Amino acid sequence: MSQPSATHAHKRFTPPAARINATGAVVCVIVAIALTAFSWLFFETSSPTLALAAGTSGGGLVLVAINWYRRKNCPPSLLLDPTGVVIEDRHERIIIPWEELADVRHVVEEVERLEFRSKFSPEPFVLVVDNFSREQADEIRRSLLPKAA
């Protein structure tokens, strides 16, 4: 398979689940405000600085927990660059040079996925397209699949 045109070089596609979203940020702010209010009520005789510190640290801990959970369970991302196709997640990075990429199959069954077949691997490398946003999925299809598909 040949490399996509130069306009598609160095394209990174990251699933929305792998990014910090507004919901996580709102939850952190709500937790921080609630902890500040509760600690201010609980420690009436102490300074408001202690209440603010408790709320800030609680919101920060919730942000760390959400980030950890998100990164632990996030789907792999896709990188198209001049050297080849890179499929990576937190635990593994698969690099398939353009010269070794034999075929890219578009399979739609329960989920839509792309199967990258290397000349040197008997099993295909699978990337689930449904994990990406609609715009990213369209761009991935335009970049990797033949025009007839």
Sign of the Cα torsion 6, 80, 110, 119 reads: positive
Position 57 scores a pLDDT of 93
Helical ranges in the chain per DSSP H: 22-42, 48-73, 134-144
Phi, psi of 99 (to 5 degrees): -70, -30
pTM: 0.60
Q: Which residues 6+ apart lie within 8 Å of 126 measured at CB?
A: 113, 114, 115, 116
Domain boundaries, the chain: 6-17+75-144, 18-73
Position 23 scores a pLDDT of 80
Tens of pLDDT, residue by residue over 73-82, are 778 888 898 8
Burial of 23 (0-12, 13-18, 19+ CB in 10 A): exposed
Query: 6-17+75-144 has which CATH code?
Result: 2.30.29.30
Position 147 scores a pLDDT of 63
Query: Low-confidence residues of the chain, pLDDT below 70?
Result: 1-9, 17-20, 147-149
DSSP-derived letter for residue 11 is E
The C-alpha atoms of residue 2 and residue 51 are separated, in whole angstroms, by 60
